[in-house]
Chain A
Amino acid sequence: MAGESNSLALPLLVISPSDVSRLSRELEALDDYVHQASLRKGGEAVKLPRTSRMLDELATANNFNFLQAHDRKAAKAFLEHIRKESPVVTMSFAAEPSSAFLAKVITWLRQNIHPALLLRVGLQPTIAAGFTLRTTNKHFDFSLRKHFDEQRPLLLEKLQKAGAK
């Protein structure tokens, strides 16, 4: 099962652990719906309810047919595996990032760091520009605030020169 999960792909729309949890709940609800429908009308074709775009992407990316019970089961196992095993990093920006921006960032992360990496997005207006990245054990600060702090001696020198004139 673990090997099967490793071969599956996580769509770019699924970014954060909360997205994974949301997908799991939706999949669970879908599974319940199909099961109840099969009990009411045995032998008849079941029409799926309207699903979210993320779930559609998941199905498309992994060729799942959620009418099939084993596909739903595989998807649930995959999502459970992702929830438990995937690395999570947190990136904070000065403003709320757009979906396109996040898609580009998560693409790079999954191509270069880990294919099932999840990204938790934070908001820190005080950093002005740039971003901060927190991994499991480290914290990287690539913000403009940090850059200003590092350049503080230079700023002091310039200010003192300006004051001496």
Chain B
Amino acid sequence: MTIWWLILVLATIGAAGIAFIWLAVRVGRGGASQKSELPYADAAEKDVEHIFNDQFREELRNRGRLHFEKIIGENAMFLQQDLRLTTSQLNEYMKDEITRKLKEEFAKYEESIMDAKQLAIDSIQKTNTAIDEQRQMLSQQLTTQLQEEKTRLLGNFENNMADVVNHYVLAAIGNQIDLSDQLEYILTELEENKTAILEDIQSGG
């Protein structure tokens, strides 16, 4: 079996070698046929001056110019479209950016105004509170002082009330009592204090 397999492999390798050789021979024959075509190329090169004459070249040039112009036009159109699109996008972008920036700035501005407003409100509230406290304190002081003054005046009035009445009575009756009517009273008082007067007189100055 192994020998058979070996023979089969050797046969295959031999067949492959034969095929390679055939191919090499075949390729060598191809180079020889190319040499046979060279006269056509030379003939074309020699005759090119007849085919590409000035008219043909002018026509080709015109065609090329037209084609070039067409391409230029198409590209210009594409460029214009791109430019418009880009401009439009740029406008949109700028608009969005400016709007966003403005919104941010307005928001900050509004925030600053709100902060300032809050500060002002706080300050006013503090001032109001201080004024209320001051007013309340002043009111209490005033009430206290008024009460003290009232108490003092009432005290003075009560203390001096007897003096006022005395003064009024004395002033009212001062000149109304005749001395002659008082003589008995005067002599009685002198009699009652006779001893004291005598002692003082006798003791001398």
Residues of A within 8 A of B (CB): 87, 89, 93-95, 97-98, 101, 104-105, 108-109, 112-114, 117, 125-131, 133, 135-138, 140, 142, 144-145, 148-149, 152, 155-156, 159
Q: For the complex formed, measure the closest distance between the CB of A148 and the CB atoms of chain B, giving whole angstroms.
A: 5
A136-B204 in contact (CB<8A): yes
A126-B170 in contact (CB<8A): yes
Proximity string of chain B (184-196) to chain A, C-beta cutoff 8 Å, 1 when within and 0 when not = 0111011101101
Please, which residue of chain A has its CB at the minimum distance from the CB of B172?
A128
Q: Which of A101, A117, A142, A144 contacts B183 (CB 8 A)?
A: A101
* 15 A-B residue pairs with CB within 8 Å: A89-B197, A97-B179, A104-B187, A105-B186, A113-B198, A113-B201, A128-B170, A128-B173, A129-B173, A131-B182, A131-B186, A133-B190, A136-B201, A136-B204, A140-B189
Proximity string of chain B (155-191) to chain A, C-beta cutoff 8 Å, 1 when within and 0 when not = 0001001100110011001110101101101110111
A97 partner residues in chain B, CB cutoff 8 A: 179
Please, which residue of chain A has its CB at the minimum distance from the CB of B170?
A128
A128-B179 in contact (CB<8A): no
A95-B205 in contact (CB<8A): no
Q: For the complex formed, measure the closest distance between the CB of B40 and the CB atoms of chain A, giving whole angstroms.
A: 160
Q: Which of A104, A108, A125, A145 contacts B166 (CB 8 A)?
A: A145
B194-A113 in contact (CB<8A): yes
Main secondary structure of the interface of B (DSSP, over half): helix
A94-B162 in contact (CB<8A): no
Is B42 close to A, CB under 8 A?
A: no
B200-A138 in contact (CB<8A): yes
B161 partner residues in chain A, CB cutoff 8 A: 156, 159
Known contacts A148-B169, A156-B162; A93 and B201 CB within 8 A of each other: no
Main secondary structure of the interface of A (DSSP, over half): mixed
A114 partner residues in chain B, CB cutoff 8 A: 201
Q: For the complex formed, measure the closest distance between the CB of B200 and the CB atoms of chain A, giving whole angstroms.
A: 4
Q: For the complex formed, measure the closest distance between the CB of A45 and the CB atoms of chain B, giving whole angstroms.
A: 45
B190-A108 in contact (CB<8A): yes
A148 partner residues in chain B, CB cutoff 8 A: 166, 169-170
Bound complex: CA of A138 vs CA of B204, how far in Å?
11
Please, which residue of chain B has its CB at the minimum distance from the CB of A156?
B162
Is B55 close to A, CB under 8 A?
A: no
Q: For the complex formed, measure the closest distance between the CB of A120 and the CB atoms of chain B, giving whole angstroms.
A: 14
Q: For the complex formed, measure the closest distance between the CB of A12 and the CB atoms of chain B, giving whole angstroms.
A: 15
